[in-house]
């Protein structure tokens, strides 16, 4: 099972990331791309476990906060405490909140607030499947 990458092995340059990530992963994680809706492997996943950053292995989201948003990407009501950071994203003519891994600064997706989903936070973390690796719970 892939776990957290040691600090000394964390890539510092794009060239180093390209060695670790395949081209599709690199485009989303390091170039803030977005995978096509409904194509990601975790869109409808219900498996219990923890979603880790596919770039550095840090734990990011619990399956307990994943919910059906019907938006075409995995959606979570919250992240694990302190695991992500937020950047204002003004690309594509919108102001959105970009979600990045706090540890390795890789792009994960966006956070949308106040959409009225029946979740405790009224937030939707809309995250690319390809940015994460699911670690199923034991048992
Ligand atoms: Zn990371």
How far apart (Å, rounded) are the C-alpha atoms in residues 87 and 31?
Answer: 14
Q: Choose, from 53, 101, 104, 126, the residue flagged as catalytic.
A: 126
For this structure, is 126 an active site residue?
yes
User: What percent of the chain shows pLDDT beyond 70?
Assistant: 98
Query: What does pTM read for this prediction?
Result: 0.94
Quote the ligand 1 centre to 5 CA distance (angstroms). 9
Tell me, in angstroms, the distance from the centre of ligand 1 to residue 123's CA: 21
Neighbours of 15 (CB within 10 A): 8
pLDDT tens per residue across span 98-118: 999 999 999 999 999 999 998
| Ligand 1 mean position, distance from CA 12 (Å) | 12
Q: 1 pLDDT exceeds 80?
A: no
pLDDT digits (tens, 9 = 90+) for 22-64: 999 999 999 999 999 999 999 999 999 999 999 999 999 999 9
Q: Who contacts 49 (Cβ-Cβ below 8 Å, separation ≥6)?
A: 63, 134, 135, 136, 137
Q: How far is the CA of 63 from the centre of ligand 1 (A)?
A: 18
| Whole-angstrom distance, CA of residue 123 vs CA of residue 93 | 21
Rounded distance from Cα 129 to ligand 1 centre (Å): 14
């Amino acid at each position: 099972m892939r776990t957290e990458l040691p600090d000394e092995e964390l890539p510092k340059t794009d060239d180093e990331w390209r060695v670790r990530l395949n081209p599709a992963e690199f485009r989303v994680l390091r170039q803030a791309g977005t995978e096509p809706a409904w194509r990601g492997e975790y869109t409808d996943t219900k498996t219990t476990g923890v979603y880790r950053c596919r770039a550095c292995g840090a734990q990011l989201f619990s399956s307990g906060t994943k919910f059906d948003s019907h938006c075409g990407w995995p959606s979570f009501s919250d992240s694990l405490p302190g695991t992500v950071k937020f950047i204002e994203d003004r690309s594509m003519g919108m102001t959105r909140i970009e979600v990045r891994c706090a540890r390795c600064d890789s792009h994960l997706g966006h956070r949308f607030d106040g959409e009225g989903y029946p979740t405790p936070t009224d937030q939707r973390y809309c995250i690319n499947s390809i940015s994460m690796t699911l670690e199923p719970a034991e048992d």
